[in-house]
């Protein structure tokens, strides 16, 4: 079947509903994934979806394709992504499908596809599924697979809560921005002993208050205001499918997720000295400094939940994290990204240390740091632009320490580290956009780097500055614009 090849990304499949994806195409992708599983002698898969408007239709279509190849399907219904991973363990199956558009706008949808417990497809597996879809050469089964519906909510709650011990109660603001977590997150925090103030918990796949993306500074600032109004201890923002979070402290201040990576690294290294910690190229220099300060081994790696999980497994790392809000605990959990568990781990650490989040943050190095900035760029242009931009970038900063695909094989950007901060440009693996972050130790140097980044990006007419995928463009505003 002819399908837009760009929806087959490096680790997920993701596209625009009605344009890139419809029920017929989804059924074919389901058959391709079923073929992928049968080649590996996997005959069972769990499947779930987030709250997007196309979710139920796409789940039915994908399931139809799966069972056509003889794969038995366990339907988990509308769930958070981490519940799909948990379902793999609960039902002891390597097969797993999560139908989700994650942090993309309401009109996107896609698929995270399991290849083992807590593990999802990488580039080679996605390419295999893409080729099967294009050739339509599917596994021929003598019989159609079975479908059973199961509810694992209580089991999931029990599993998460047995791993957490809060020594005191917390007042927590939870904002789901009408995403799937509105069904689950408030209850699990209540069961953990928290007082919960809920915001935008009613499920609405139109996302009327904006895309549930915890890297969005506007979203996080709104959360901060509620935390101050409610005199809460913490604010937690979730993405659409629940595997990512963002937090604000009791003063309403945003902690970007690279700071959370550093906090989690410190907590783990206090208990497991000399552990390896994996973090992605978008993270602040804070992360490496904190890991080294507490005797750990910092390993910087390419962006993407699938790549980070694989690297954690290869290195035997205790923990890994990304600026986007994916956190992977390998000490007392399964090693996959679970936003509810990650948020509870923050509270557990605060209760153990008897500190507020702002007090804990104050003990870390201070950088003036931009949020993760996303700017629209066509899929067929973004790679060439970053390659071209990288050549100029390296020429402009010959003394900087450069991290690119010569350091990390397959990396999708270029990072320059200075004595007082960094700049990174990269293209996204899961959407038609480019991602940027920069930081400095002084306001003067921060503004200088901001001007450089903006000037560099403006030199490419292919960049789309008014696009639904753009996030945090305000962070590029300068005094003269």
Q: What is the DSSP string of 45-77?
A: EEEEE-S-TTHHHHHHHHHHHHHHTT-EEEEEE
pTM flag (> 0.95): yes
Token pair, residue 137, equals 């050469």
Segment 312-336 mean pLDDT = 96
19 confidence band (pLDDT: 50, 70, 90): very high
Report the pLDDT value the prediction gives residue 479, as an integer from 0 to 100: 74
Per-residue pLDDT for 73 more than 80? Answer: yes
Exactly one of 54, 102, 324, 390 is catalytic; name it.
102
Query: What kind and span of H or E run contains 395?
Result: helix 379-396
In this predicted structure, what is the pLDDT of residue 395?
96
pLDDT at 430: 82
Average of per-residue pLDDT across 92-100: 98
Q: Confidence class of residue 463 from pLDDT cuts 50, 70 and 90?
A: very high
Here the tokens at position 257 are 């997720």
Number of Cβ atoms within 10 Å of the Cβ of 187: 13
Q: What pLDDT was estimated at residue 293?
A: 97
pLDDT at position 481: 60
- Token readout for 121 is 């497809």
Based on the residue annotation, tell me whether 178 is a catalytic residue of this protein.
Answer: no
Active-site annotation holder among 177, 326, 361, 415: 326
pLDDT, tens only, 121-163: 999 999 999 999 999 999 999 999 999 999 999 999 999 999 9
Average pLDDT over residues 254-281: 97
Backbone angles phi, psi at 476, to 5 degrees: -100, 0
Q: Identify the active-site residue in 14, 103, 178, 244.
A: 14
Given a contact cutoff of 8 angstroms between Cβ atoms, the answer to whether 111 and 30 are in contact is: no
38 is catalytic: no
9 annotated active-site: no
Q: 226-239 in b/e burial notation, b at 16+ Cβ within 10 A?
A: bbbeeebbbbbbbb
Mean pLDDT for 73-87 is 98
Q: Return the percentage of the chain with pLDDT > 70, whole number.
A: 100
**What's the average model confidence in pLDDT over 6-18?**
95
Which helix H or strand E contains 156, and what residues bound it?
helix 153-161
Instruction: Return the bridge partners of 259, or none.
Output: none
Q: What is the rounded average pLDDT of the residues 221-240?
A: 98
pLDDT band for position 429 (50/70/90)? confident
Domains of the chain with CATH codes: 5-151 (3.40.120.10), 155-254 (3.40.120.10), 256-337 (3.40.120.10), 368-476 (3.30.310.50)
Mean pLDDT rounded to a whole number for the chain: 97
Cα–Cα distance list, 345 to 164, 263, 435 (Å): 7, 10, 28
Residue 302: pLDDT over 80: yes
User: Are 71 and 38 contacting, i.e. CB atoms less than 8 angstroms apart?
Assistant: yes
Find the mean pLDDT for residues 183-197: 98
Distance separating the N- and C-terminal Cα atoms of the chain: 47
Residue 480: its pLDDT value, please? 67
């Amino acid at each position: 079947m002819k399908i837009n090849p760009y929806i087959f990304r490096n680790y997920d499949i993701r596209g625009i509903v009605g344009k890139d994806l419809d029920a017929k195409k989804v059924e074919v992708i389901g058959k391709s994934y079923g073929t992928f599983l049968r080649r590996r002698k996997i005959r069972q898969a769990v499947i779930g979806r987030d709250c997007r408007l196309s979710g139920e239709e796409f789940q039915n279509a994908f399931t139809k394709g799966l069972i056509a190849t003889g794969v038995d399907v366990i339907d988990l219904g509308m769930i958070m992504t981490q519940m799909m991973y948990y379902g793999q363990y609960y039902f002891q199956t390597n097969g797993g499908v999560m139908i989700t558009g994650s942090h993309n706008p309401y009109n996107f949808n896609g698929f995270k596809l399991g290849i083992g417990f807590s593990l999802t497809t990488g580039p080679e597996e996605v390419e295999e599924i893409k080729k099967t879809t294009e050739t339509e050469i599917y596994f021929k089964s003598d019989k159609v697979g079975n479908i059973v519906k199961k509810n694992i909510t209580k089991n999931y709650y029990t599993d998460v809560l047995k791993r957490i011990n809060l020594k005191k109660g917390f007042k927590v603001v939870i904002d789901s921005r009408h995403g799937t977590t509105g069904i689950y997150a408030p209850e699990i925090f209540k069961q953990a002993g928290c007082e919960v103030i809920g915001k935008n918990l009613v499920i609405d796949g139109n996302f009327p208050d904006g895309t549930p993306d915890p890297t969005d500074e506007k979203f996080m600032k709104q959360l901060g205001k509620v935390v101050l109004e409610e005199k809460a201890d913490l604010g937690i923002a979730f993405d659409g499918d629940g595997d990512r979070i963002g937090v604000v402290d009791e003063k309403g201040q945003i902690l970007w997720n690279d700071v959370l990576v550093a906090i989690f690294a410190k907590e783990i290294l206090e208990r497991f000295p000399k552990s390896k910690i994996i973090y992605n190229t978008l993270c602040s220099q804070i992360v490496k400094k904190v890991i080294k300060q507490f005797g750990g081994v910092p390993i910087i790696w390419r962006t993407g939940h699938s790549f980070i999980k694989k690297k954690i497994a290869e290195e035997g790392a205790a923990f890994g994290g990304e600026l986007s809000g994916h956190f992977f605990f390998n000490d007392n959990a399964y090693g996959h990204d679970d936003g509810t568990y990650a948020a509870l781990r923050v509270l557990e650490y605060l209760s153990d240390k008897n500190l507020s989040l702002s007090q804990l943050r104050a003990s870390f190095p201070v950088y003036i740091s931009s949020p993760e900035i996303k700017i629209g760029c066509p899929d067929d242009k973004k790679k060439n632009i970053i390659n071209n931009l990288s050549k100029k970038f390296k020429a402009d900063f010959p003394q900087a320490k450069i991290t690119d695909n010569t350091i990390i094989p397959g990396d999708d950007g270029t990072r320059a580290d200075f004595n007082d901060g960094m700049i990174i440009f990269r293209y996204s693996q899961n959407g038609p956009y480019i991602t940027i972050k920069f930081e400095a130790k002084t306001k003067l140097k921060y503004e200088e780097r901001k001007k450089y980044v903006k000037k560099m990006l403006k030199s490419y007419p292919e960049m789309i500055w008014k696009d639904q995928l753009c996030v945090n463009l305000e962070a590029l505003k300068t005094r003269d614009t």
